[in-house]
A = this chain, B = another copy of it.
Amino acid sequence: VDELAIIERFFRPLAGEGSFGLRDDAARLAVPAGRDLVVTADMIAVSVHFLPDDPPATIAAKALRVNLSDLAAKGAAPLAYTLSLGLGPDAEEDWLAAFAAGLRRDQERFGVALIGGDTIAVASGPVIAITAFGAAPGGRMVHRFGGKAGDALYVSGEIGAGAAGLAILKGRPGPWDALPPGERDRLVGGYRLPEPRVALASVLAEHASAAMDISDGLLGDCDKLAATSGCSATIRAEAVPLPMGLAEAGAETVAGLLAAGDDYEILAAIPPAAEADFRAGAAAAGVSVTRIGELTAGSAPTQLLVDGVERPVYRRAYIHGA
């Protein structure tokens, strides 16, 4: 790892305002007036969060997007990020060039820039640690806590696509085997490259009482949101937007998808009085949102109803298993 050459060739072109062209030891990050600085950190590693032969551009984009997803869930628009990159002995220039190209594409798309980082050698890589910075309207950062019994629960996009995409990649048999090839490709693409709901950030800051991104499975993450809000929750399986053809695959498959991870959609608690405005704001932002249940009084784990009947949930927290 010749760090200086790597920075010069691959990362300097990504450097944003306050980074001094990555030629200093640190960056200066300006926080827009009247905004709160929101900070999140997510790390991904080969064979755990992505596969060794995944395209480097999508690995880079995924490393960035899992962070942008957290910012969006907190109501924060992305500003900048630092990148700490551990490269294994087999790292090659072509890989780095494609990795940097993936970052560049997402930087342009999501309005965020690299302001610092580190590149080191590791025994087994890549290992990618990003810390991302966002700006939320002053006093309006959205938390996991803050939800109230009676708030409606919404999710963005669809749930289970990441888990189904991973199952396809790993050759695990399931109802996805019967899907048309184009739909299977879409699910694999969704696993490799989640869509951070950046456009929903300001809508959440305005209307949500609580929110988080779903990185460890809808049911387990709903437990977390409800518990930190001092509530319980009910989710109706039929209401959850699943990928085409999977909702009909039986209660076992549906419950599995609702417990699985890697969706990076938003789960939000919306007070009833704000629901209409939240839906309108999401539509204006171009993000589909679906009401899937509500927060309830109590402290029990999330209640999953399938056709109105409570179904035991076997597996609450997803263990990453790529």
Contacts and interface: CB of A to CB of B under 8 A. Distances in A.
A144 interface: yes
Contact of A83 (B20, B41, B47, B121): B41
A82 interface: yes
Interface string A5-26: 0000000000000001001111
- Number of copies of chain A assembled together: 2
Contacts of A73: 25-26
Given A86-B127, A127-B86, A39 B29 contact: yes
A120 B43 contact: yes
A236 interface: no
Interface stretch (A30-38, A189-197, A280-288): A30-38
B70 A26 contact: yes
A184 B73 CA distance: 52
Given A20-B143, A129-B129, A317-B4, A118 B41 contact: yes
Contacts of A45: 86, 120-123, 127
Interface residues of A, number: 59
B48 A120 contact: yes
A288 to B, nearest CB: 21
B27 A116 contact: no
A99 to B, nearest CB: 16
B41 A84 contact: yes
Contact of A28 (B30, B36, B145): B36
A116 to B, nearest CB: 5
Contact of A26 (B48, B74, B116, B228): B74
Contacts of A43: 84-86, 118, 120, 129
Nearest to A139: B28
A93 B176 CA distance: 40
A42 B84 contact: yes
- The interface centre, meaning the residue of A4, A122, A124 with most chain B CB atoms within 10 A of its CB, is A122
12 contacts: A23-B228, A25-B40, A26-B38, A26-B70, A28-B136, A39-B115, A42-B118, A43-B85, A43-B118, A46-B123, A48-B123, A82-B131
